[in-house]
A and B are shown apart, each in its own frame.
Chain A
Amino acid sequence: MTVFLVIIILALLAVTGWQMSKIFDLSRGPGADSSPIANDKDNRQQAQITLAFMVFLYLGMAYSFWHWSKLYLPEAASEHGNEIDTLMFISIGIIMTVQVITQALLHWFVYKYQGRKGKKALFFADNDKLEFIWTIIPVITLAGLIIYGLFTWSDIMNISEEDDPIIIEVYAKQFSWEARYAGGDNTLGEANVRFIEGINTVGVNENDPYASDDKITSELHLPVGQKVLFKFRSQDVLHSAYFPHFRAQMNVVPGMVTQFAFTPDITTEEMRNSDYMVDKVSTINDIRKENSEALMAKGEAPLDSYEFDYFLLCNKICGEAHYNMQMKIVVETEEEYNAWLSEQETFAETMEK
């Protein structure tokens, strides 16, 4: 596929080069037009190319949507995520409609009104009615989008503690994540970088009674269908906790605790078995197999085959290894979650060692 594309593009380039030399020849030959200002012939030619370009643009857009829409993330794995996706699809629908219409007008007018000697342009300087129309249409459309957007936004961002969310701290440092579960009391113990020492890597205050049952883990496990309130803390620079599959993101700011809440509603298992993911993973494994063969031919180790897991990634430049700051996320049933959690060591146990 890649090779194929490169060949096409090289071919296009060759055609361009050939065309270019032709144009230079033409502009040199006897009787050639050497005026640096567009004449009727240029106007006609360029107008035709503009029309061709419009076709290219539409085909390009159609190709992109046809082949790459599937790159859009899978169905949102959180409750609010579906609302975001709906709003996203509505917005994309609206902007693509506007795009198709305005680009058509733009390119068509260029073609239609190509210049000719002796032709008279219309002296058309103002028209209040027209301008009113195209002020008011965006106003109405945007008002709709704003209102829809703002309702969704406040639903997502205004976190009420009434529905008793599970509280989990997500802790960032160059270049890894850790999670701290609040334990039986669902209250996180006090923490600050000044408490960091030895195995107390996230700086929890040992003397805080709320801290002893906290559990610090290197994977993030979440029970399906339960609201989780994440508290974010960074020990060094800005990071951003980006959960693409859950349509969630929040910056992680040193000196400050930021937060975001969502309710995961598709387990890892279910996501793995979805048509989308089965298809995607098999594509990826085909690619990896191909790459592995190339690697082995060079005497290097092949790539592992891939199995889907949710992940958390860092989305605010944080240093050299910013590109590889990830944590595995597992969404599972409540029983599995409880079983996993009970196996984790509490902070008190860790500190006793």
Chain B
Amino acid sequence: MSALATAAAQDHHEDHGHHHKQTFITKYIFSTDHKMISKQYLITGILMGIVGIMMSVLFRMQIAWPEESFAIFNLLLGDKWAPDGVMTPAMYLSLVTIHGTIMVFFVLTAGLSGTFSNLLIPLQIGARDMASGFMNMLSYWLFFISTIIMLSSLFIESGPANAGWTIYPPLSALPQAIGGSGMGMTLWLISMAIFIASQLLAGINYIVTVINLRTKGMSMMRLPLTVWALFVTAIVGLVSFPVLLSAALLLIMDRSFGTSFFLSDIYLQGEVLNHQGGSPVLFEHLFWFLGHPEVYIVILPAMGLVSEIMATNSRKPIFGYRAMVASLLAIAFLSTIVWGHHMFVSGMNPFLGSVFTFTTLLIAIPSAVKAFNWITTLWKGNLQMNPAMLFSIGFVSTFITGGLTGIILGDSTLDINVHDTYFVIAHFHLVMGISALYGAIAGVYHWFPKMFGRMMNKNMGYIHFWVTAVGAYGVFFPMHFVGLAGLPRRYYTNTAFPYFDDLADVNVIITVSAIITAAIQVVFLYNFFVSIFYGKKATQNPWKATTLEWTTPVAHIHGNWPGPVPVVYRWSYDYSKMNEKGTDYVVPGQDFVPQNVPLQEHEEELNH
């Protein structure tokens, strides 16, 4: 497939200057246009999201009604994995594993930052396209291939990978230990290796584009926070993904070539394995050296989108722009030195635990600053309650709720007893999963007119938001208490311990909320797909925003601006700025000043 891609791209290059000659294939499939690639990422991400969330509904049903028979299990999973409609333990673990993998990597890494980096970086910095359109296309198609491989692993005889999304060896290395570690894990590793290649290509491209292709006047401190966030995300990805790749390669060698990087002293099924001298703890270090930054790769873009959407819809500048940038950088830096908080009880030296507690609680500070700045952005605003705004407010709410419990998990002493329980599941779903999804959805509602030239229906947006908001808290708030009761995660059922019988009610509430939350997403999907074709036609700048993407025409053209690229004279947050005498806005009668409007007479550019 990539050979084909190369050929198509070369054609396209020779084609330069005659874009009217584009065929269906170069326009919609092997496109090198950043706007089209962004849509490809978005649609792929949405489809993967449907799969991932469906999986969570299935395994949640097993938890709430353990070992009960459901026709839908049998229908979707087949006789092998759900004989008589009862889910098998191996399938439960596979669903959990693939759910986690899909949501973290395919939906919230590729889907979220792929969509918005591609769409917004060139448009908001005033560039005609990405630095390398070809690399950009390659990155999407590698991502696409990796999703196909991951999905194909669902259909193989020995079952998909089921050692958890963290794939700790030895479990993930030894097919004798669990069925999914055979062919399923091989496919998982191949898929992730290709995925990482795709992310690295994309990341380099984003970074180069931001550094080199900013239009005249667009200094770094005039960049919208979206671009800042996407830029920093790409750097974090570039630093951490190669480490995961090396961990995956070493694991592949242990699995297939008899090396012993992670394996030692193992006796399985009546025989001692040859592996000697490796350490699973080493794998944990490598995995979490990516794994922790990964959660910031997921959340930083959402933070950027939310900052932008909040300022626009509050008709106010984002509060504390410099602090927002500084905290992004601080979070990005600190995120690479906190990985050990996933390993307090892994057997590593307790002194290291102290160090990681310290760095982890440090990272709470820039995060707190961000939360306060968002809240202050609302203060004395003129809030326009568009669906994107609601999701942004929802983001701040879940980010706070989920972030606060991080203070408990980051404290090595307290982590001893809640590590790997449902408390952790509750924490990271609120702070990373739900928040990032809210950010992504907010982005979709906000930039839909830019992507598709039409508007989404706001009333459906309102219903979508409120049911989701109630449902998501309904799933994840009660889950804290299940965790504090000592219930471990990744348990097929907890009926093996009568001690946990009194958690049954809470588990039912959680599952019913999950079903409702998942079901209401249909309203979103309907709104999304129908609006692409039948939505109201968008105007050029529907949200009255200041950033450059809204200076491009509604219809997409190659190169973005029909005339010269706009020149930038101010930062991107001149909302409700008054003229010198305080009698009217800077531009009379208009409460925003786009970035390409020169400073007015007597107007001062604040020193942000």
Give residues in A with beta carbon < 8 Å to B: 1-2, 5-6, 9, 12-13, 16, 19-20, 23-24, 26-27, 34-38, 42-43, 45-47, 49-50, 53, 56-57, 60-61, 64, 68-69, 71-73, 83-84, 87-88, 91-92, 94-95, 98-99, 102-103, 105-107, 109-110, 113-116, 119-127, 130-131, 134-135, 138-139, 142, 145-146, 149-150, 152-154, 156-158, 173-174, 192-194, 196, 203, 235-238, 240, 242, 244-245, 247-251, 253-256, 258, 280, 283-284, 287-288, 303-304, 306, 308, 311, 313-324, 326
Q: List 12 A-B contacts (CB under 8 A).
A: A46-B462, A60-B473, A69-B481, A72-B485, A123-B575, A123-B577, A142-B365, A146-B357, A236-B267, A247-B417, A251-B346, A326-B496
Q: Output the residue of B397, B516, B535 with the most chain A CB within 10 A.
A: B397
Could you mark each residue 237-266 of chain B with 1 if its beta carbon is under 8 Å from any beta carbon of chain A, else 0?
000000000000000000000000001111
The distance in angstroms between the C-alpha atoms of A47 and B413, with both chains bound, is: 41
Contact between B177 and A255, CB atoms less than 8 A apart: no
Contact between B382 and A121, CB atoms less than 8 A apart: yes
Contact between B397 and A106, CB atoms less than 8 A apart: yes
- Contact status of A124 and B383, CB under 8 A, knowing A142-B361, A193-B272: no
Contact between B89 and A320, CB atoms less than 8 A apart: yes
Q: Output the residue of A72, A92, A107, A320 with the most chain B CB within 10 A.
A: A320
Could you mark each residue 344-379 of chain B with 1 if its beta carbon is under 8 Å from any beta carbon of chain A, else 0?
011100100110011001101100110111011011
Could you mark each residue 279-321 of chain B with 1 if its beta carbon is under 8 Å from any beta carbon of chain A, else 0?
1110000000000000000000000000000000011111111
Q: Output the residue of A150, A288, A317 with the most chain B CB within 10 A.
A: A317
Could you mark each residue 484-503 of chain B with 1 if its beta carbon is under 8 Å from any beta carbon of chain A, else 0?
11101011111011110111
B208 at the A/B interface (Cβ < 8 Å)?
no
Chain A residues near B268 (CB-CB < 8 A) = 174, 235-236
CB of B171, distance to nearest CB on chain A (Å)? 4
Chain A residues near B142 (CB-CB < 8 A) = none
Chain B residues near A317 (CB-CB < 8 A) = 93, 163-164, 168, 171, 490
The distance in angstroms between the C-alpha atoms of A81 and B433, with both chains bound, is: 31
CB of B402, distance to nearest CB on chain A (Å)? 10
Contact between A145 and B458, CB atoms less than 8 A apart: no
- Contact status of A27 and B459, CB under 8 A, knowing A9-B513, A71-B482: yes
Count B-side interface residues using an 8 Å CB cutoff.
139
Contact between B457 and A131, CB atoms less than 8 A apart: no
- Contact status of A237 and B177, CB under 8 A, knowing A99-B400, A113-B380, A255-B280: yes
- Name which residue of chain A comes closest to B394, CB basis: A53
Contact between B573 and A115, CB atoms less than 8 A apart: no
Chain A residues near B417 (CB-CB < 8 A) = 73, 84, 88, 244, 247-249
Chain B residues near A287 (CB-CB < 8 A) = 501-502, 504
CB of A233, distance to nearest CB on chain B (Å)? 9
Checking B177, B347, B408, B457 against A256 with a beta-carbon cut-off of 8 angstroms, the contacting residue is: B347
- Name which residue of chain A comes closest to B90, CB basis: A320
B595 at the A/B interface (Cβ < 8 Å)?
no
Could you mark each residue 304-344 of chain B with 1 if its beta carbon is under 8 Å from any beta carbon of chain A, else 0?
00000000001111111111000000000000000000000
Chain A residues near B265 (CB-CB < 8 A) = 192-194, 235, 254-255
Question: From residue 500 to 557 of chain B, which have CB atoms closer than 8 A to chain A?
Answer: 501-506, 508-509, 512-513, 516, 520, 523, 535-536, 542-543
The distance in angstroms between the C-alpha atoms of A167 and B141, with both chains bound, is: 57
Chain A residues near B217 (CB-CB < 8 A) = none
B202 at the A/B interface (Cβ < 8 Å)?
no
Contact between A110 and B516, CB atoms less than 8 A apart: no
CB of A184, distance to nearest CB on chain B (Å)? 28
CB of B468, distance to nearest CB on chain A (Å)? 11
Chain B residues near A303 (CB-CB < 8 A) = 498
Segment of B13-21, B105-113, B385-393 engaged in the interface with chain A: B385-393
Give residues in B with beta carbon < 8 Å to A: 88-90, 93, 163-164, 168, 170-171, 174, 177-179, 263-268, 272, 277-281, 314-323, 345-347, 350, 353-354, 357-358, 361-362, 364-365, 368-369, 371-373, 375-376, 378-386, 389-390, 393, 396-397, 400-401, 404-405, 407-408, 411-414, 416-417, 419-421, 455-459, 462-463, 466-467, 469-470, 473-474, 477-478, 480-482, 484-486, 488, 490-494, 496-499, 501-506, 508-509, 512-513, 516, 520, 523, 535-536, 542-543, 573, 575-578, 591, 606, 608
Chain A residues near B267 (CB-CB < 8 A) = 173, 193, 196, 203, 235-236
Checking A2, A173, A256, A322 against B508 with a beta-carbon cut-off of 8 angstroms, the contacting residue is: A2
- Name which residue of chain B comes closest to A47, CB basis: B385
Chain A residues near B542 (CB-CB < 8 A) = 36-37
Chain A residues near B264 (CB-CB < 8 A) = 254-256
Q: Output the residue of A94, A149, A284 with the most chain B CB within 10 A.
A: A149
A13-B516, A49-B466, A149-B413 provided; 6 other pairs, C-beta below 8 A?
A36-B535, A115-B384, A126-B606, A149-B412, A247-B416, A319-B171
The distance in angstroms between the C-alpha atoms of A30 and B576, with both chains bound, is: 35
Contact between A311 and B407, CB atoms less than 8 A apart: no
Contact between B347 and A251, CB atoms less than 8 A apart: yes
Contact between A23 and B393, CB atoms less than 8 A apart: no
CB of A194, distance to nearest CB on chain B (Å)? 6
Contact between B368 and A138, CB atoms less than 8 A apart: yes
Q: Which 6 residue pairs are nearest across A and B when measured between Cβ atoms?
A: A255-B264, A244-B486, A36-B455, A157-B350, A46-B385, A258-B347
